[in-house]
Chains A and B, each alone.
Chain A
Amino acid sequence: MAAPCRKVNYQFVKRSLRCFEPRVIPCRWSNTLRNQIVEKHRHSPLSSTRELVKQQDDPSDVLVPREFRFVHPDFLPYPIWNRRDRVREKLEREDMLKRRAVLDIPEFYVGSIMAVSIADKNAPGKQNRFVGICIDRAGHGLNHYFVLRNAIDGQGVEIKYDMYNPLLQKIEVLKMEKRLDPQLYYLRDAPLEYSTFRLDMEPVPISKGAHVPLNAIKVKLNPRPWSRRWERSNLKGVEPLDDYITEKMKKQKQHPQIQKTWEMHDLMLKARSSIDDREVDQIMNEVYKRKEKIQKEKLQKRGQEGKREGKKAQEVRR
């Protein structure tokens, strides 16, 4: 007896076959692998970031000067660890060193007076030169920038320069100095005399091994209104602000939510928002080595060129 012929349920077949159809699965980071995953599947001890790598690249074998990390804060990576990409950081460092081999980027700090010339096709001579005091310096890797401030025609002018901008032609330090604060944005609310510098200022020489002088000047701010609540940020380079603020503001300043005393000893806050000391040592060690190597190569090249020129001169004489 033949089996009774059943009606084929096409919808059922379709539904069951749907799993074999090619589908486009939208994935946010489809072209990248998360750092944690890569780290997890690394089997070779050489490619993983464990002790073996440390032993190879021991920071004790090269003596890096202690000030090196303060002179080159731009080499430090972004501190939030799960947004970091170590390969990109390394490539960026390499790029930065290559740029430094071409452009002389001197040592400077917040509070130093600098002159920067930048290519500008609309300016006469196709070059623009600006002199000012460095009021801020920030950014990680190739994104490092600094801000110069000067008063021009009775008007405060600030320019932010990306340090690794290829349009930069020259960076000079006219007066090497440090100030008491890490940022000098309060100069915006101070009289213009504090941020006025002559555009034809001559560089003040400083001997090579000397300490960087600290300018302990106390700026007297204008009366309120200010661009920020300066009374709340404990500024060191400013004269006491008690005359300018009301009793209520003084009381508010003492409020625990503004003082935030609990953040002082917060170990995890510090660990999350800064880079480990050992890693800084490692990076600085690597940068120091590469920098020395590049300088050697540069000197060798110069020597070869000098020899060639010498030979040419001899030939001409003959």
Chain B
Amino acid sequence: MNMFRFPVRNTPRKLKKSFGVGSGPAERIKKLQMLVTALIRNERLEAKESYCLETRGYAEQLIQIAIRNGDRHAETMEKADYWLLEKDLVHKLFKVLVPRYQNYTTAFTDYHFLPKKVPGSGVQMGILELKGNPWPPVVPRQRNQKYLLTNVLISTAKEEYRMEKKISPDLKNGTHDKLNQLDNT
């Protein structure tokens, strides 16, 4: 039983220069606090790949302990208070996200790669989002539209038209040479 529902690196990313040159682990956590807050607020995030994937772990863990322990647990409340810089999000966590993810057996978040800009800095960017968010999907859902009623009608109409064309051209011109030849033989 792996307790992580998403791929996790064994060592954390250092996120150098998260607050300019000279920032260390304290600044890393500070940055992650901001990112987690933004993710819970907006339900979608666009950032560097490393930032997205680091944020993912913390956001997932926060939701998981909220689901397990509920809002009557002192330690969980402390963690929620620490990681969510805007305090109205604590209510959102327990009242909106916990019921939403209660019966999930998979991860609560999704990560999508963004294309690299060429020419550009070459940094891999990505999108991190909470599942079940109200935004339109990042990857458009490809539906098979062949059997929609309008498409079926159009396709049959096209076919009929084609069949007509196949038979009609000789009739329209009034030249029955080929047919006559066949009859004579």
Give Cα A269 to B12, complex, Å.
8
Q: Which 5 A-B pairs have the closest CB atoms?
A: A276-B3, A267-B61, A265-B82, A262-B29, A268-B57
Number of interface residues of A (CB under 8 A): 27
Whole-angstrom distance between the Cβ of B3 and the nearest chain A Cβ = 4
Number of interface residues of B (CB under 8 A): 23
28 pairs, A vs B, C-beta closer than 8 Å: A49-B1, A49-B2, A50-B105, A53-B1, A54-B1, A81-B8, A82-B10, A257-B24, A261-B26, A262-B28, A265-B29, A265-B78, A265-B79, A266-B29, A267-B57, A267-B58, A267-B61, A267-B62, A267-B83, A268-B12, A271-B3, A271-B4, A271-B61, A272-B8, A272-B10, A277-B68, A278-B1, A282-B1
Query: Within 8 Å CB of A279, what residues of B?
Result: 1, 3
- Chain A facing B: main interface SS: helix
| Contact, CB under 8 Å: B61 / A256 | no
A80 at the interface (CB under 8 A from B): yes
Give Cα A265 to B147, complex, Å.
54
A193 at the interface (CB under 8 A from B): no
| Contact, CB under 8 Å: B26 / A256 | yes
Give Cα A262 to B83, complex, Å.
12
Given contacts A81-B8, A262-B25, A265-B78, 20 further A-B contacts (CB under 8 A): A39-B2, A49-B1, A50-B105, A81-B2, A81-B3, A257-B24, A261-B26, A262-B29, A265-B79, A267-B83, A268-B8, A268-B12, A268-B57, A269-B12, A272-B8, A276-B1, A276-B3, A277-B68, A278-B3, A279-B3
> Which of these, B8, B26, B62, B68, contacts A262 with CB under 8 Å?
B26
Q: From known contacts A266-B29, A267-B62, A269-B12, infer whether A81 and B83 are also in contact, taking CB-CB under 8 Å.
A: no
B residues whose Cβ falls under 8 Å from a Cβ of A: 1-4, 8, 10, 12, 24-26, 28-29, 57-58, 61-62, 65, 68, 78-79, 82-83, 105
Give Cα A265 to B4, complex, Å.
18
Residue of A nearest to B1 (CB): A49
Could you say which of A53, A266, A278 has the most chain B C-beta atoms within 10 Å of its C-beta?
Answer: A266
